[in-house]
């Protein structure tokens, strides 16, 4: 099998609101053969191609765009909402001033 993985549309929960279903296209990972040739002969090596996801629609509940949902699935955006108190606590721990004096 050279470069063929199962693919199809699936539905997942929105990573932000966890209430609505979002349609997405999923292509499973697979091993792909690559051949390198030199004068002494050919060598075949197999490389793993990871799963790919493509979001097909925006979230109907929270209104997040396809691009934002895609980034959240790839781990580039945090889906956890941080409270105001937690933000202040992190700022104080890092040593930044919380009041600006004029």
Q: How big is the chain by its Cα radius of gyration, in Å? A: 22
What's the pLDDT band for 78 if we cut at 50, 70, 90?
low
Q: What is the mean pLDDT of residues 94-100?
A: 77
Instruction: Please provide the average confidence, as pLDDT, over all residues in the chain.
Output: 84
- Residue 79: what pLDDT? 63
- Residue 102: what pLDDT? 66
What 3-state class would DSSP assign to 73? helix
Express each pLDDT in 52-61 by its tens digit. 889 999 999 8
Longest dimension (CA), the chain: 76
Judge whether 12 and 31 are in contact, CB under 8 Å: no
Distance, CA of 34 to CA of 32 (rounded, Å): 7
Residue 5: exposure state from Cβ atoms within 10 A (0-12, 13-18, ≥19): middle
């Amino acid at each position: 099998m050279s470069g063929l993985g199962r693919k199809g549309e699936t539905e997942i929960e929105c990573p932000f609101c966890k209430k609505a279903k979002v349609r997405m296209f999923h292509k499973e990972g697979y091993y792909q053969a690559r051949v390198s040739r030199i004068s002494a002969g050919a060598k075949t090596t197999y490389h793993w191609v990871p799963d790919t996801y493509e979001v097909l629609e925006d979230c109907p509940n929270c209104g997040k765009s396809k691009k934002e949902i895609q980034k959240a699935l790839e781990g580039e955006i945090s889906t956890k909402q941080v409270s105001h108190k937690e933000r202040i606590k992190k700022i104080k721990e890092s040593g930044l001033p919380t009041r600006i004096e004029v």
